[in-house]
Amino acid sequence: MSRRRTLGTKKTIALLVGAAAVAGGGAFAMAGNSNASQTPQTLSAGNSTVCQGLATALGNNQKFIDGQRAAPDAQSAARIANREAVIAQIKVQQKASGCTVGESAQDSQAAQPTQPSQAASTPAANTGNTGNAGNGGAAASGQQVCNGSTVTLSGEGGAPAASSNQFPAGTKLKVTNLDNNKSITVQVTSVSGSCVLLNNAAFEQVREPGKFLIRRAVIEKVG
């Protein structure tokens, strides 16, 4: 009887060890599946403000390059080379931010229409003061322009400045980020594919941390 009890005990221990091993393996497999499910997915402009801002910046620069190629002049080659370098830097930022590298969002202004409440409340006599998106260069000093436009960065370096497809070089624009009430006044120094793009230094002064797109912006021509 003693020998039988001893063998029975050993068998019981072996069974318990085996069961523990199976359970442990299952737990390991479950943990592996759980970790796999938590692997960060590549984000797109549709589900990330950061990615949307970078995609818009990339699209604006591509739009500018397309315009230069369609109507080239003596400086087009240099401008295109500069913007291609900017696009390369934006792609680096997209990769670092977990965004889809190379994703482009051209004509971002069309995706951000003027709010109906603002359009309805603007008196007809004042529409010339607030609706100069198509004729920004003719706007008087101190007038709000480019209603409904978002603002992003051009990716260019240097001192704070702006680029625009509506305002000539030398024009001074004041850009206010309504989400944090920060503003900056910059001079237009080059041409772009958007109403106003801020270069890196200017954008850094008015953006919210970690964001590459200003959704609620007020743009004023001040000089």
Q: 153-209: per-residue pLDDT in tens? A: 888 889 999 999 899 999 999 999 999 999 999 999 988 878 899 999 999 999 999
CA-CA distance, 114 to 216, in Å (whole number)? Answer: 11
Residue 178 in contact with residue 110, Cβ under 8 Å? no
* Beta strand extents in 53-112 (DSSP E only): none
86-113 tens-digit pLDDT? 888 888 888 888 888 988 876 444 333 3
3-9 LR contacts (CB < 8 Å, sep 24+): none
Q: Which residues of 28-37 are buried (b: 16+ CB within 10 A; e: fewer)?
A: eeeeeeeeee
Q: How many Cα atoms within 13 Å fall on the side-chain side of residue 28?
A: 6
Distance of alpha carbon 37 from alpha carbon 40, whole angstroms: 8
Strand 172-177 vs strand 182-191: parallel, antiparallel, or unpaired? antiparallel
Let me know: does 107 contact 66? Beta carbons within 8 Å.
no
Give percent above pLDDT 90 in the chain: 24
Per-residue tokens: 44 = 């797109």
List the domain boundaries for the chain: 49-221
d(CA 62, CA 54): 12
State which fold the 49-221 domain adopts.
Barwin-like endoglucanases (2.40.40)
Rg over alpha carbons for the chain, rounded to the nearest Å, is 28
Which two structure tokens, joined as six digits, stand for 103? 């994703």
Query: CA 36, 37, 43: angle at the middle one, nearest 5?
Result: 110
Tokens of 166: 């509506």
Q: What is the mean pLDDT of the chain?
A: 72
- Cα separation, 89 vs 1, in Å, equals 81
The pTM for the full model equals 0.55
Per-residue CA distances from 144 to 6, 65, 148, 220 (Å): 93, 28, 11, 4
